[in-house]
Amino acid sequence: MQFVKRYALHPRAYFRFKDLMLAHMRNIKETHNCQFANMAYSDYKLPFKIDYKPPYWDEASSLINDALLNYAKTWGCEDIKIVSMWFAEYETGNNFNWHTHEGCNLSAVLQLHGGSNTATELYGIEDLKIAAGDFVIFPSMLPHRGPQVTGHKICIGFNLSMGGSVLHNE
């Protein structure tokens, strides 16, 4: 069973979403301070209400829904929920060091823009090549990082919660 799965999103849906996402990002960056860590911009730490969902939530959820359902099914689960999502934009010299995510059992990244040389790296996973339009799901305790960027990179991070096991017959 694969703990890490990469899904190549349908190009037409991906490019439609990318255009919408860039418009959402422009609006968020114009109306909020999006400074976070060593990224150019991110809405990860914006001071919104606890129940805040970013304006791109529905579009992003729809884009990745089939991949989420497939991942859950491979584990014998019926339920997978998005707990949170955020964008991270990197420019030359930006990076985000090794880290894990708490409060969820899965993490995911959607590579929106940038080449595989700047894509998220997963600790100990050498042969994973993430390109623009790829969605990758992995256990949240797996260390990962945004390596130093040369050029421009945009990704969307996700915290996910999977449950509802159907492996028992009771």
pLDDT tens-place string over residues 125-161: 988 999 999 999 999 999 999 999 999 999 999 999 9
CA-only gyration radius of the chain, Å = 16
> At which residue do the structure tokens 């509802």 appear?
164
| Structure confidence at residue 166 (pLDDT) | 84
Mean pLDDT of 81-92: 95
Q: Is it the case that residue 16 has pLDDT exceeding 70?
A: yes
Residue 123 within any structural domain of the chain: yes
Measured distance CA(10)–CA(41) in Å, rounded: 27
pTM of the model: 0.93
| Sequence-separated (6 or more) residues with CB below 8 Å from residue 30 | none
Written as six digits, the tokens of 163 are: 């449950």
Between CA 50 and CA 100, with CA 87 as vertex, the angle to 5 degrees is: 75
Residue 23 within any structural domain of the chain: yes
Residue 159 within any structural domain of the chain: yes
AA identity, residue 20: L
Beta bridge partners of 90: 153
Between CA 105 and CA 17, with CA 88 as vertex, the angle to 5 degrees is: 90
Q: Around 140, how many Cα atoms within 13 Å sit in the side-chain half-sphere?
A: 16
Residue 170 within any structural domain of the chain: no
Q: Is the dihedral of CA 83, 130, 154, 37 positive or negative?
A: positive
Mean pLDDT of 24-40: 94
Residue 76 within any structural domain of the chain: yes
Range of the domain at 42: 5-46+54-164
AA identity, residue 47: P
Tally of structural domains, the chain: 1
Cα–Cα distances in angstroms (integers) from residue 98 to residues 4, 88, 123, 146, in the given order: 17, 15, 8, 8
Q: Is it the case that residue 2 has pLDDT exceeding 90?
A: no
Residue 114 within any structural domain of the chain: yes
Residue 82 within any structural domain of the chain: yes
The domain that holds 108 is classified in CATH as 2.60.120.620
| Structure confidence at residue 73 (pLDDT) | 94
Residue 38 within any structural domain of the chain: yes
